[in-house]
Amino acid sequence: MRTFVLATANPHKAVELRAVLEGLGVTVLARPRDVAEVDETSDTLEGNALLKARALVEATGVAALADDTGLFVDALEGRPGVRSARYAGEGASDADNVELLLSELVNVHLDERGARFVTVIAVAYPDGSSTVVRGELEGVIDHHPRGSHGFGYDPVFVPRGSGGRTLAQMDPEEKNTISHRSRAVRNLVAALSNS
């Protein structure tokens, strides 16, 4: 049995990661409240996931799992990408970020609104080694937010093959079967069982 401490300070991400990891037999510890957040100074998802995981393994001595996620929109040359959390500025809310994204795409036809969520998961171990995996979900950005589940950009992201529903119109179990984050977790489990 593996035990990982979660680096995320985002409660929505923690709930999703816990559901998928525990379903795969991994024991999950919550991030201790007294550990400071790290600045995400890298310009790649991989770099930021490793920064977060390494800071936490140093603070706790327990193998630490961090994910970094970005939404990459074709018509915006990949923005918001690695800056997805701070797209509308430091401390921006999910609603602020979604509003800015929709305003940037206001004249873009649905055929040209392709996008993908990318999650990179890094696990850092006390011996200094690490494992890094990724998971992706293809879709399009809708013109208006729809649905009340999920978080972040879920209300405007329509996954390919979802029958036109946004991620926020899916219940958590359905999102967890297809999401970028759950795909990355499955890739992690595969990588760990090969190691």
Residues tagged active-site: 68
Determine which residue in the list 152, 159, 184, 185 makes contact with ligand ITT, applying CB under 6 A: 152
**At residue 130, what are phi and psi to the nearest 5 degrees?**
-155, 160
In angstroms, the CA 194 to CA 133 distance is 13
Residues 93 to 132 in contact with ligand ITT, rule: CB under 6 A: 94, 97
Looking at the DSSP bridge assignments, the partners of residue 135 are 119
CB of 116 to ligand ITT, least distance (A): 12
Pick from 119, 168, 114, 122: which is nearest to 139 by CA?
Answer: 114
Nearer to ligand ITT, 66 or 195 (CB): 66
The H or E element spanning position 158 is strand 157-159
CA 148, 19, 17, 5 dihedral sign is positive
CB of 141 to ligand ITT, least distance (A): 12
Nearer to ligand ITT, 13 or 54 (CB): 13
In angstroms, the CA 181 to CA 159 distance is 13
Rule CB under 6 A: is residue 4 a binding residue for ligand ITT? no
Rule CB under 6 A: is residue 85 a binding residue for ligand ITT? yes
Q: Does residue 172 have a cis peptide bond before it, meaning omega lies within 30 degrees of 0?
A: no
Nearer to ligand ITT, 15 or 192 (CB): 15
Determine which residue in the list 5, 101, 153, 170 makes contact with ligand ITT, applying CB under 6 A: 153
Pick the piece of the chain touching ligand ITT (CB under 6 A) from 19-27, 65-73, 99-107, 128-136.
Answer: 65-73
For 133, 156, 177, 180, the CA distances from 83, given in Å and listed in that order, are 19, 17, 26, 17
Rule CB under 6 A: is residue 166 a binding residue for ligand ITT? no
Residues in the chain: 195
Contact residues: ligand ITT, CB under 6 A = 8-10, 13, 67-69, 84-85, 94, 97, 150-154, 179, 181
